[in-house]
Structure 1
């Protein structure tokens, strides 16, 4: 009797495990959406800085381990300061569009690791209060690429938590003005400020 119960328990575990493998995780042909929404506010004396970011992404598994996708991002930042009881505001709007490719290890399991290569193009507009009742507008354009490893953990068949961190980033930004020169920036290494957290929906 004990042997029968043991065999039955093993068979039940194998059946549940097989069903989980079929329903949880990523497979070829899956489409997923992910993204992040963030708000931050910093105040120090008469200076205050508020920023809002929204960054949706969509990806598609062309093979069981490789996914390709596209990403959009919008960020709005407003810096406010007071001088002699007069308030000045500087505003920035940044739009980013990019493409990415990912390679996944163990994509068909509840927990998976991936490595992402991304390329992005951005355009920014900044409005500065000139202090005499008017404003000065400036624009800039730039591009960049980065490498970001990450992890996924499925909470259910369709929803997963995602975390990634940029370990290599390059960007080049050029003001939209005659004679302006580009500013280049290159970073490599682990920076906790570059950690991104999000929720993934698979369908």
Structure 2
């Protein structure tokens, strides 16, 4: 585990910053599986992102997420998110940039047809691998979401999960 973390840190230090008037395409893919006794829970998530870098350090765009959750003995649940984001980035070197994303949007889940909103603030590190293609690393952030279903009481969550998660994504900046 320590070797993997060291390799990730070395890899992150190789990213170059994006250029003004460029298009950003990126995203994350995630999978988790948990088994306790006879119960099994599986999550799969795909989260694409597209934006336009309108100033040297600022990017704005759209983000989405599709998640499938399967649990033993229950139906499959699907969750969708669509929203916008604003990114502020600061180059640290030719290879590395630090950035923070602020995302806000709408969410829907097939469980009780619940609908609501979400907001997230995520600091991260971008490593430029070559020609604007790079890896994104984050270790959590601040998240808020709410859902209101037909037969369920309104759900609200506020999360502060720095150090509890590790997210690795891929992105590419295309110069215009």
Is TM (by shorter chain) over 0.5? Answer: yes
Identify the match of residue 67 of structure 1 among 48, 59, 62: 59
Higher relative contact order (CA 8 A, sep 6+): 2
**Contact 2:33 2:43 (8 Å CA) reproduced:** yes
Q: Indicate the SS of the match to 1:89.
A: coil
Q: Indicate the SS of the match to 2:130.
A: coil
Structural RMSD (CA): 1.8
**Contact 2:18 2:132 (8 Å CA) reproduced:** no
1:1-203 correspondence runs (5 A): 24-80=16-72, 88-106=73-91, 109-126=94-111, 138-177=112-151, 181-188=153-160, 190-193=162-165, 195-203=166-174
Question: 1: CA distance between counterparts of 2:154 and 2:63?
Answer: 24
Q: 5+ unaligned residues in a row in structure 2: which ranges?
A: 1-15
Shift of 1:189: 5.3
**Contact 2:62 2:83 (8 Å CA) reproduced:** yes
Aligned residue-pair number: 159
Q: 5+ unaligned residues in a row in structure 1: which ranges?
A: 1-23, 81-87, 127-137
- Greater radius of gyration (CA): 1
Shift of 1:90: 2.7
Residues 60-111 of structure 1 show CA distances to partners (whole Å, capped at 9, x for unaligned) of 100011001111110011101xxxxxxx333210011011101111288321
Shift of 1:39: 2.0
Q: Indicate the SS of the match to 1:63.
A: coil
**Contact 1:147 1:168 (8 Å CA) reproduced:** yes
Give the TM-score, by structure 2 length. Answer: 0.82
Q: Which has a greater percent of helix?
A: 1
Question: 2: CA distance between counterparts of 1:108 and 1:64?
Answer: 15
Give the TM-score, by structure 1 length. Answer: 0.72
